[in-house]
Amino acid sequence: MARGDAEFVEFASAASGRLVHAAFLMTGNHHQAEDAAQTALVRTYASWSRVRGSDAYGYARSVLVNHLIDTWRRPIREYPSEDLPEQHRGDVADEVVTRRWLLAILGTLSARERAIVVLRYYFDLPEAQVARELDVSVGTVKSTSARALAKLRTRNCVPETQETCT
């Protein structure tokens, strides 16, 4: 094993779940989220010697967000096939209702608004750090966040009654 590989494996094990979840909140697609998180970890590993002493998780999160923004700018064409993906079966009704509600509500926002809301309120990052990661001004983060939250407040989304956003 190369120097630092064991350290990276430990980091990847600890960070991958949270990266996948954040990517899922931004994309609304589980498979796309897993691919984005994997790409972020691969790119973090490529720079591991430089970032392992500093905030490696912050670096991986920045790579994740930048990768997702790039895919929104240049969408990859997908071709349907006859094969269906594996389906998880079980008693997960509450999770499904909550997930659908969250995806419906986040789906009403633009890509930038979703990214800012997820970074600001899921990752609990300060406005200045969100601005640095998205390469926008702090004022843009504040105004976009306020606009996104106002949109969310005006929606009729009630997770307990299994209604979707109108």
- pTM beyond 0.75: the answer is no
pLDDT tens, 84-131? Answer: 666 656 556 777 787 888 888 888 899 999 999 999 988 899 999 999
Beta strands in the chain (DSSP E): none
Q: Give the domains, in start order, of the chain with CATH numbers.
A: 5-73 (1.10.1740), 93-161 (1.10.10.10)
Helix or strand holding residue 132 (H, E): helix 127-134
Interhelix angle 127-134/56-73, nearest 10 degrees: 50
